Structure 1
Amino acid sequence: MGSTVLRRGLAVLASAATFVGVMASPGAAHAVPHAPSASDVAQRLTDYINAGSPDGRRAVNVLEHDVDWTGPTRKLPPVQSTVGTGPRQAGFWPAFAYSQVHPRVAPPGADDWSCKPKAGQNPVVLLHGTWENAYDNWAAFAPALKKAGYCVFTPNYGRTDLLDIGGLGTILPGSNGVAKVSRSAEQIDPYITKVLSATGASKIDLIGHSQGGLLGRYWMKRWGGHRKVDHFITYGATNNGTTLLGIGWLGRAINNVGIDILAPVTLLVGSAGIDQTIDSPTVKYVNNRAPYRDPNQKSVYPDVDYTIVASRYDEVTTPFDRTFIRGYRNVRNITLQDGCERDTSDHISMSYSPRALSIALHTLDPEKYPTLVCSTSPWFFSF
């Protein structure tokens, strides 16, 4: 079935891309007399796809039907506690390999539920990205924050399976963050309440990598979490969606002219990945854009201090500056390479960059950490 879905998905991509190209080309409106409307063509294509779908999946003409991806469906179970503590790592790939054997292990310095914050500090919650986990994402950040005196917590959120549209990443034992963003937001809400209760704190500092940033914003809006956050720091976050190297943009463009190309793509990427594409309903909801605009809600909250960090070498959140949130006084947008060209960290290796870590420490305590580190940090090959 998997190869059939993949072949069908590639075929639909090719057909729909041709359709979009013809419709958008100069003079296309005059090339064929009495050309049918986009909705008519889209319906014919969806009928064609559905006629060859023996597995029961149905494509949808979204010019005629509004598909809402923002609401939660089946509720995810509570966040599982981490089990044991792994060693500190200097790069992503050794941490990734370790987490495949120990998928629930905590990074060093994290998840000490007896920890009490020092005066002037908040507990820090670290949210990993898509297809990642608490350990492989934060095996350098967590011990550094702990050494700086912070209570650190690292939930493994959004774990589901292939049949629940978690994508092919779910075959990896340490792959989390694959469920719909709305479901993961509902899942982390009681976890953060537990952190506040255990530490006696009234607010947390929240740090998110990739999807973790978008998830943090969704949770702040949907679950009132902005009232519980002091500092919010993101690295390579999909704040305004990503092209996913063009596939997401193409899929969304095709979807918007009538073909639910995201159905087969979702099987591969997972619903969390589709939630993060440019102009997805989830991205529109977080940014308070139509049709989810609510005058009583905000995309940025004045009582939260935002620091948004990007890398010019990011190949997942693309273009890299789409992570920035512009036009707000309480939002600082930082490009990792500004003032430090030696740091060539990409999307994956960013959370192992000494400069990225120094940005977090400076944001949380500028008096104790007044300067940013500049050191060589490799692209992709982070060991």
Structure 2
Amino acid sequence: MMRSGLAALSALTMGLGIAAGAGTAHAAEVAGWTGMGPQLAPQDNISAAIAHGMAAQDASPSGANEECTPRPGENPVVLIHGMVSTPYGSFAALAPALKAQGKCVYSFTYGRYNSPASGSSAMGFVPGFDGGLAPMDKSLAEVTEHIQRVKEHTGAEKVDIVGWSQGGSLATAYAKQSGGKDVGTVVSLAGVLRGTSMLGLANLHHEFAQLGLPISQAVDLTLGASGNDLLEHSDFMTRLKDGGLEVDGVHYVSIATLFDESANPLGNDQYSSKDYQNIVLQDGCPSDASDHLGVPYDPRSIALTQNALGGNVPVPCTGTVGPFIPGSSI
């Protein structure tokens, strides 16, 4: 999300100190058909992941993008990263946890927006922040291609999808687009499912646009086209909501936080029909202070995601403040 990318950018210098000693020891070979780069070491906070991943093009999180055959009755898991992010920046903690659970895990970079031919934004030229910026229809087409590739190479008929932030939007849009025929479970981590109000800024954006002021162009040039598409009144979100988010045959799980300054209000990142479960991190654990950036690194949300995908692991309750501890936010 918008604030996520800008906040993460401000944290780079802090994260560099932690990431300097990180290595790629014991990294498994990445399958060539994925088109992704080598695995980098796991990280337990987003600052370290961003800093360590900046120097590597299309880095794979540890545990992701290996040759893998799903166990009988299980689906490969596709992780869809957030806006102004990358697979490694978003899932340096979650991917290895799912791999340890025995899952076949895949994650790809989508939505680059740094070419004169297809459009560009200032953020699109910043290493480590250059994913998830393109128009969301284009990103959905890329995600669709990636999922088809995973099915082809693993022999799976269905996939499970986990998406953070914009990734939750795209996971939900993909399941709806496919009619649910090749999706088992969708897990949305602080996903923007009905557009975000951005604490009311979406309404101001809408009013400026109605007055003919070039607010959409300004967002596009600085942040990327997806910055407009994620807002409540966008065409993409209107189409996603039309007729309902959910389709038959898919199990939907939303994991959200009360302290989300990017995907809000709370109801906008929750499901409401068919086979669904909405989880708020603070239910049963009021000390969990994860904000939007902290959710994919929160030990609580990681365990809940594992369980949503068939696991049976204890769900911890931890405090999550500061940028350098597990589950931290910035």
Same fold (TM > 0.5): yes
Q: CA deviation at 1:104?
A: 1.4
Q: CA deviation at 1:183?
A: 0.3
Distance 1:213 1:203, change over 3 A: same
Distance 1:301 1:379, change over 3 A: farther
Distance 1:324 1:260 in 2: 31
**Contact 2:113–2:224, Cα closer than 8 Å, also in 1:** no
Distance 1:284 1:379 in 2: 36
Distance 1:353 1:92, change over 3 A: same
For 1:101, what is the secondary structure of its paired residue?
A: coil
Equivalent residue for 1:138, pick from 78, 91, 115:
91
Q: CA deviation at 1:162?
A: 6.6
1:149 maps to amino acid: G
2:236 matched to 1:254? no
2:227 matched to 1:282? no
Distance 1:284 1:172, change over 3 A: same
- TM value normalised by structure 2: 0.83
Distance 2:36 2:219 in 1: 31
Distance 1:226 1:347 in 2: 27
Which residue of structure 2 lines up, in the alignment, with residue 85 of structure 1?
Answer: 39
Distance 1:257 1:226, change over 3 A: farther
For 2:248, what is the secondary structure of its paired residue?
A: coil
1:166-185 matched pairs, under 5 angstroms? 166-174=120-128, 175-185=130-140
Distance 1:347 1:162 in 2: 29
**Contact 2:216–2:228, Cα closer than 8 Å, also in 1:** yes
**Contact 2:247–2:274, Cα closer than 8 Å, also in 1:** no
2:308 matched to 1:363? yes
**Contact 2:255–2:279, Cα closer than 8 Å, also in 1:** yes
Which residue of structure 1 lines up, in the alignment, with residue 61 of structure 2?
Answer: 107
Which residue of structure 1 lines up, in the alignment, with residue 12 of structure 2?
Answer: none
Which residue of structure 1 lines up, in the alignment, with residue 251 of structure 2?
Answer: 305
Task: Give 1 or 2: higher strand fraction.
Answer: 2
Equivalent residue for 2:263, pick from 317, 326, 342:
317
For 2:188, what is the secondary structure of its paired residue?
A: strand
**Contact 1:345–1:353, Cα closer than 8 Å, also in 2:** yes
Deviations 1:147-168 (A, max 9, x none): 0000000111111217444432
Q: CA deviation at 1:193?
A: 1.0
Q: CA deviation at 1:257?
A: 4.8
Which residue of structure 1 lines up, in the alignment, with residue 7 of structure 2?
Answer: none
2:48 matched to 1:94? yes
Which residue of structure 2 lines up, in the alignment, with residue 377 of structure 1?
Answer: 320
2:184 matched to 1:241? no
Distance 2:306 2:172 in 1: 21
2:108 matched to 1:155? yes
1:12-161 matched pairs, under 5 angstroms? 81-112=35-66, 114-161=67-114
Which residue of structure 2 lines up, in the alignment, with residue 204 of structure 1?
Answer: 159
2:158 maps to amino acid: K
User: Which deviates more, 185-194 or 237-246?
Assistant: 237-246
Distance 2:226 2:35 in 1: 22
Equivalent residue for 1:348, pick from 293, 299, 311:
293
2:170 matched to 1:215? yes
Deviations 1:163-196 (A, max 9, x none): 4444321121222010011001111212111111
- TM value normalised by structure 1: 0.72
Distance 2:266 2:219 in 1: 23
CA RMSD between the two structures: 2.0
Which residue of structure 1 lines up, in the alignment, with residue 26 of structure 2?
Answer: none
**Contact 2:257–2:291, Cα closer than 8 Å, also in 1:** yes
Which residue of structure 1 lines up, in the alignment, with residue 275 of structure 2?
Answer: 330
Q: CA deviation at 1:120?
A: 2.4
1:377 maps to amino acid: T
- When the two structures are aligned, how many residues end up with a matched partner? 292
Could you tell me which runs of 5 or more consecutive residues in structure 1 were left unpaired when the two chains were aligned: 1-78
Deviations 1:273-315 (A, max 9, x none): 1100012110010111xxxx6xxxx521021000011111111
Distance 1:356 1:345 in 2: 10
Which residue of structure 2 lines up, in the alignment, with residue 11 of structure 1?
Answer: none
Distance 1:107 1:247, change over 3 A: same
Which residue of structure 2 lines up, in the alignment, with residue 263 of structure 1?
Answer: 217
Q: CA deviation at 1:324?
A: 1.3
For 1:206, what is the secondary structure of its paired residue?
A: strand
2:101 maps to amino acid: A
Distance 1:309 1:208, change over 3 A: same
**Contact 1:345–1:377, Cα closer than 8 Å, also in 2:** yes
Distance 2:239 2:247 in 1: 14
Q: Which protein has the larger Cα radius of gyration, Structure 1 or Structure 2?
A: 1
Equivalent residue for 2:181, pick from 227, 233, 236:
227
Deviations 1:56-87 (A, max 9, x none): xxxxxxxxxxxxxxxxxxxxxxx972111100
